[in-house]
Amino acid sequence: MSYLGRIKGTANELIESISNALKVHVSNDVILSTAGAQKEIIVQRLDTVGDGSGSSNMAVDGSVTPVIFRIKPPAGEIWRIASWNIYVQDSGTFDASLWGNGITLANGIATSFFDGTSSISLLQHTIKSSGDVSAVATRIDYLTMGSGDTILTAHWDFILQGQYIRLVGDNNEELRVVISDDLTGLTAQYVQAMGYKE
d(CA 156, CA 179): 18
Residue range of the domain that includes 21: 3-33
| Whole-number Cα distances in Å, 9 to 5, 22, 29, 32 | 6, 20, 16, 22
Q: Which helix (H) or strand (E) holds 59?
A: none
Same domain for 46 and 90: yes
Same domain for 65 and 17: no
Across the range 107-114, mean pLDDT stands at 96
DSSP assigned state of 153: E
d(CA 106, CA 117): 27
d(CA 89, CA 97): 16
Looking at residue 98, what is its pLDDT?
Answer: 95
Task: Give the domain CATH number at 169.
Answer: 2.60.120
Task: Summarize pLDDT for 17-63 with one digit per residue, the tens.
Answer: 555 555 544 444 444 555 567 889 999 999 999 999 999 999 999 99
d(CA 30, CA 52): 35
Task: Summarize pLDDT for 75-91 with one digit per residue, the tens.
Answer: 999 999 999 999 999 99
Same domain for 27 and 51: no
Whether pLDDT at 3 is above 50 = no
Same domain for 22 and 109: no
Same domain for 184 and 86: yes
Task: Summarize pLDDT for 141-178 with one digit per residue, the tens.
Answer: 998 887 889 999 999 999 887 889 999 999 999 999 99
Whether pLDDT at 108 is above 60 = yes
Whether pLDDT at 181 is above 50 = yes
Number of domains in the chain: 2
Same domain for 55 and 10: no
Looking at residue 37, what is its pLDDT?
Answer: 77
- Residue type at position 160: L
Same domain for 61 and 18: no
Same domain for 140 and 100: yes
Same domain for 80 and 15: no
Same domain for 54 and 83: yes
CB atoms within 10 A of CB 93: 11
